[in-house]
Amino acid sequence: MVIEKQIFVGRTEELNQFKKALEDKRGQAILVVGQSGMGKTLLVNKMTEIATIHPDLKCGAVRYEVTQTDTVDSTMALMMDNAFEAAQITESSFAGTTKRLEQWKAFLNVFNLGDLVLSLRRDSATHTREQFLSKLHLISSKMAENGRAIFIIDPEKYMQEKSDQSWAIVIKSLPEKIKFIFAQRNEDVLVESETFSELDNVIRIPEKSLDALAGSAVDELINLESAHIKYPIAEIKKVIARYKGHPYAIGAALGLLKAGIKLEELPKRPEPTKFAEIQWKKVCSISEAAIRLFRAYAILEIGVPDDVSFYVAELNSSQFQHLIADNYLKGLLREEGEGKRIYHSILADYILMQMNEEEKKRCHRRAVKIYEDRIKESHIKRILPKEFDITRLPEHVLTAYGEQAFLIVFVNICTKYLLNCNHLDVFVNLSERASKMVEPDSYEGCSIWANLADTMVHIGWLDEAEKIYNDILETAQKQNWRHFIGSAKVGIGKIYMFREKQEDAERMFYEALPMILQSDIPLVFSYLGVIYRNRGKLDLAEEKLEGAIAFDKAFNNQQGLGSDYDNLGRVHFERYKIYKSKNDPRATQEFENAKKMFSDALAINSSPEYKRPEGIAVNKVHLGELFKEVGDIKKAKEYWKSAIDQFNEIEMSDKAKAIAKLIEVIDKNETVASMG
């Protein structure tokens, strides 16, 4: 892990506890607990340094900073996306990466995991938490016995409320050699959670809470820093003794003295806000541009890319580079995640307190503009925007423009991208927040609840989703909102399909068709095609799937087309088997039709722009089944073996084993036949 060199003193007992935990092979969560300003981040950084230079263990570490609006699933999704992105970084392009990607690249190099590039790709069709745990198990299995993978979660202030339950599920199932370190204030969610704390693989360092630095550690720190301060060591120690070992107060005082502040100007007591006040005055004395930059960082809250920070600060790149070259200003920032942020929330909070509402809104409005521009640029390039941009945008919109604007951005921008990227936890969280801003029987309320119900169906919460759909149906029928009547019936129809109530599903879909938007028609046609295929009504199935294909082509919906082609291929395959059993010459044409549909689906799912690893594997399985049916066992096994590799790469080992078993049975039958 790449971290800035920081002076660290003391905490010997805590570090010894960490070394013992590090040598324990079990998957564990380590809680580093302490009040704001007590040095949790410094301690975690020192733990990381100790791990990466351990004489007997090979350790890699990656750090994540989270806010109260960051969900567990969004953090895990970001980790998987970063891992995949870092695995593809070449030495020639390495200089332009963020600090977190540098950490991931170093992490992968430590364990020689670069060959797992495809395995680290996040599949948007698979539940985030299950997928994340699967990849942790994969990393664990590929590491040597002396390997340790360390993931640090360091909240900007606090973690999201109720996130303890989700983290408990993850930590309970941690594989060997995986360590999570959580920095936590005494009142934070994991510390107060009985569910989390009672797990037998959770330990606290220290057992209670970080205390003040010992006098010997304070003296050591002063001795190390005194070369850069104009006052004698004895005078420095006398003043620093006021702060009774408080890490933030001592660090801030020494930093201010190095910047030229006089001893007599330092606070009399270890009150963090007093130090933040003096730090801010020093920033203000440098320039108006420095004021704007630090206001921007305070508003942006977390580590952001440089182009975001200097845009919000209304600076150009040259002005920005000049400011961050200043030793004092540079000392108040730290590299995190996507870029830089103010080194401590105490200073950031103080800066926010000094801003009036119009100054805050101005910064928030510029943050909205830069995030919207980044999302538009992604759209022009026909790539998905970064999850970072999508999740930060609504937070700034809410403050800058209010609840109505938040709802518009959430419904019209965020929803589509969050669902396409399978950030379901983030979507559910934002949906619940949005639903509190609207009347439940309003048009906006129906829109939000409909998307939430669709997501619940995807997750598998069918009972909860059915209740929401019925509520929407009741409201929409009272208001005669045809679109919502139709979409609610489509949702209920999907639930009936999952419950294998095919006739009820068919009825719902036909009732919905006259009322839904044109863009939703291909999906309903596709569902009807699947229903008719399952019931043996192949002509009707073909008709509906051909209709879905026509609509998806018109809307350039490539993901829908991949699914349509595969489903239509299965219709032709079923018809081929019927014709073959009757010696009907039309079987030949149906074979060709099925092969073309499966191949077209495979081409779409394999394209770089729309790549879906699970879809690729499924298409190859179907092609294998088709060639087996015509007696081309060699070709069938080629497709199946390729599908096995694909399933293993995306950690769907059960499906891979099932296909391997099928090949084994065929090989055994061939052996018996040859002996006979």
Same domain flag for 36 and 127: yes
Q: Which residue matches tokens 């040859």?
A: 674
Percent of the chain with pLDDT over 90: 41
Q: Taking the model in full, what pTM does it have?
A: 0.66
In a domain, 428, yes or no: no
Task: Using the Cα atoms of residue 416, residue 422, residue 424 and residue 425 in order, give the sign of their dihedral.
Answer: negative
Weakest-pLDDT range from 224-233, 447-456, 601-610: 447-456
178 with 289, same domain: the answer is no
Task: Tell me if 189 sits within 8 A of 159, measured CB to CB.
Answer: yes
Q: Are residues 194 and 246 in the same domain?
A: no
Is it the case that residue 474 has pLDDT exceeding 70? yes
Q: Which residue did the predictor score with more confidence, 338 or 481? A: 481
Average pLDDT of the segment spanning 391-401: 91
Most confident of 169-178, 450-459, 545-554: 545-554
Q: How many distinct structural domains can be found in the chain? A: 4
Confidence of residue 516 (pLDDT cuts 50, 70, 90): very high
Q: Which two tokens stand for residue 5?
A: 């060199």
Residue 532 pLDDT: 96
Q: Hey, which of 87-96, 306-315, 432-441, 593-602 has the most confident mean pLDDT?
A: 593-602
3-state SS, residue 204:
strand
Asked if residues 520 and 509 have their Cβ atoms less than 8 Å apart, the reply is no
Q: Domain holding 324: CATH number?
A: 1.10.10
Instruction: Provide, rounded to the nearest whole percent, the portion of the chain with pLDDT above 70.
Output: 92
Structural domain contains residue 551: no
Per-residue pLDDT, 618? 93
List pLDDT tens digits, range 408-421.
888 788 887 777 66
Looking at 205, 230, 259, the residue that finishes a domain is 205
Claim to verify: residue 251 and residue 152 sit in the same structural domain: no
Structural domain includes residue 172: yes
Residue 498 forms part of a structural domain: no
| CA 367 to chain centroid | 21
Are 259 and 321 in the same domain?
Answer: no
Answer yes or no: do 105 and 19 share one domain: yes
Residue 584 lies in a domain: no
**Cα dist from 339 to 147, 315, 623, whole Å:** 28, 17, 46
DSSP for residue 427: H
Q: What is the pLDDT of residues 26-70, one digit of tens each?
A: 999 999 998 888 888 889 989 988 998 899 988 888 888 887 777
> Cα separations (Å) of 434 from 404, 421, 461, 466?
9, 20, 20, 20
In this prediction, residues 72-80 reach a mean pLDDT of: 78
178-184 vs 28-33, strand pairing mode: parallel
Mean pLDDT of the residues in the chain: 86
Higher pLDDT among residues 596 and 130, named by residue: 596
Q: Examine the domain organization and report whether 120 and 252 are in the same domain.
A: no
Whether residue 530 lies inside any domain: the answer is no
Residue ending a domain, among 307, 330, 355, is 355
CATH number assigned to the domain comprising residue 142: 3.40.50.300
Q: What's the Rg (C-alpha) of the chain?
A: 29
Parent domain of 70: 12-205
Q: Which of 68, 84, 79, 127 is nearest to 423 (CA)?
A: 127
Whether residue 206 has a cis bond before it, omega within 30° of 0: yes
- Mean pLDDT of all residues in 527-543: 95
Average pLDDT over residues 286-315: 91
48 and 141 co-located in one domain: yes
User: Look-up: residue for tokens 């969610």?
Assistant: 189
Q: Residue ranges of the alpha helices (H) in 480-557?
A: 482-498, 502-512, 521-534, 538-554
Check whether residue 226 and residue 348 sit in a common domain.
Answer: no
Is 54 within a domain?
yes
The more confidently predicted of residues 613 and 190 is 190
Domain boundary among 305, 332, 355: 355
Residue 643, classified by CB atoms within 10 Å of its CB into exposed (0-12), middle (13-18) or buried (19+), is buried
Short-list 657, 630, 607, 654, CA closest to 640: 657
DSSP H helical ranges for 335-412: 345-354, 357-380, 387-401, 403-409
CB-CB contact of 5 with 42 (8 Å): no
Q: In this structure, are 238 and 99 located in the same domain?
A: no
**pLDDT by residue (tens digit) across 108-144?**
777 776 666 666 666 655 667 777 888 888 888 888 8
Residue 586 lies in a domain: no
- When pLDDT is averaged across residues 262-269 and rounded to a whole number, the result is 87
Q: Say if residue 221 is exposed, middle or buried (CB neighbours under 10 Å; 0-12, 13-18, 19+).
A: buried
What is the C-alpha to C-alpha distance for residues 669 and 408, in angstroms, rounded to an integer? 61
Please state the rounded mean pLDDT for residues 74-82.
78
Same domain, 81 and 121: yes
Same structural domain, 223 and 343: no
